[in-house]
Chains A and B, each alone.
Chain A
Amino acid sequence: GAVVSQHPSRVICKSGTSVKIECRSLDFQATTMFWYRQFPKQSLMLMATSNEGSKATYEQGVEKDKFLINHASLTLSTLTVTSAHPEDSSFYICSALSGPSFNEQFFGPGTRLTVL
């Protein structure tokens, strides 16, 4: 299947700093990417839908000013956690849609964010 990468895989930062997470589709173009967050032993929660060349669509309860999403090209979407706080510590996963079918939504390996 298609490959989606995320960078970094793990990041530890101090409270108040901003962290950027990259999501790349390596061998296909993705007009749509999704960002999820997973807390321990909980489900993957959709945070936002990222469409290339347009503004992201955020789910209810997700602060768009805190979680900045940029989808500047067909192979790259970035999530920036601004002024991170300990409660933002989580596992962030992106997925990329390579076609209209759901089995064509490929997930990245995730990024573990720890805010001290």
Chain B
Amino acid sequence: DQQVKQNSPSLSVQEGRISILNCDYTNSMFDYFLWYKKYPAEGPTFLISISSIKDKNEDGRFTVFLNKSAKHLSLHIVPSQPGDSAVYFCAARSSARQLTFGSGTQLTVLP
């Protein structure tokens, strides 16, 4: 049973426009959520995180929104750049600092 789901395996966006990546979770015990960016044959790189007590966290072009009642979080990238093209994973912490990952969304930013 997947506790963290990314239902869109891929997303294409025009350069300069907003990219919105979505993530849903089922475990209400998750208390911290993170987004990672991953290039092929490389390990994930931390991007941005949000505590469950917040509903928004912003860092430059990246903003993460959390809707606890809907068990949904999203990552907004604006403006999108070609260098943002990668696979984006959302992850959630349950306990013992372990992370549960979603299946990833391949973002392609078209020039």
Residues of A near any B CB (own CB < 8 A): 1, 4, 6, 9, 32, 34, 36, 41-46, 49, 57, 91, 93, 95, 97, 100, 102-103, 105-110, 112
Contacts and interface: CB of A to CB of B under 8 A. Distances in A.
Interface string B87-104: 001000100111111111
Nearest to A94: B43
Contact of A103 (B34, B98, B100): B34
Interface of B: 2, 4, 9, 32, 34, 36, 41-46, 49, 89, 93, 96-104
Nearest to B34: A102
A44 B49 contact: no
A109 B43 contact: yes
A43 B38 CA distance: 11
Closest 3 CB pairs of A and B: A107-B43, A43-B103, A44-B101
A109 B40 CA distance: 9
B89 A44 contact: yes
Contacts of A4: 43
Contacts of B102: 43
Nearest to A45: B101
A103 B42 CA distance: 17
Contact of B97 (A36, A41, A91, A105): A105
